[in-house]
Amino acid sequence: MSTAVSTEPRIQHVRVTADEIIARLADGRVISVPLAWSWRLSDATPRQRARFRLIGSGQGVHWPDVDEDISVEGMLQGVPARRPQPGAAPKGDSATLREGAPNKRMQSTRGLRGAQVGGRGARG
């Protein structure tokens, strides 16, 4: 019988300072990224930043108060989160979308060949 040893990096603990997101990994490494890489955490209060939970056996961290998820892979690869552009349409509430509520702003126009703008159907 062999025992498989996981070589994937896993977060054991995370700490957010005024300038950095710091993660201590299971293999002993300590990695950090600029706090500015997460605009949600940058805008969050210290109390919101302190409330987190590890997800996926340490593959990432979730901050429920600000709905932010950061993966250890993202930290290692240097992938900052992009702040939405002003005037861009806001994302729908993920809980609402999962429940199947209609999102009228995002309805597909496929299969509406010949339909007119404004909700009128094609003449027939």
CB 75 within 8 A of CB 23: yes
Rg of the chain over all Cα atoms, to the nearest angstrom = 21
One CATH from 3.40.630.10, 3.30.2020.40, 1.20.1270.360, 3.40.50.12160 for 11-77: 3.30.2020.40
**Residue 91 confidence (pLDDT):** 57
Burial class of residue 101, CB neighbours in 10 A (0-12, 13-18, 19+): exposed
In the chain, the percentage of residues whose pLDDT exceeds 90 is 57
**Residue 43 confidence (pLDDT):** 96
Beta sheet of 53-55, edge-to-edge order: 53-55, 60-63, 68-71
Distance (Å, rounded) from C-alpha 18 to C-alpha 32? 12
Where do the domains of the chain lie? 11-77
Ranges of residues in the chain with a pLDDT under 50 are 93-124
Q: What is the pLDDT of residues 37-56, one digit of tens each?
A: 999 999 999 999 999 999 99
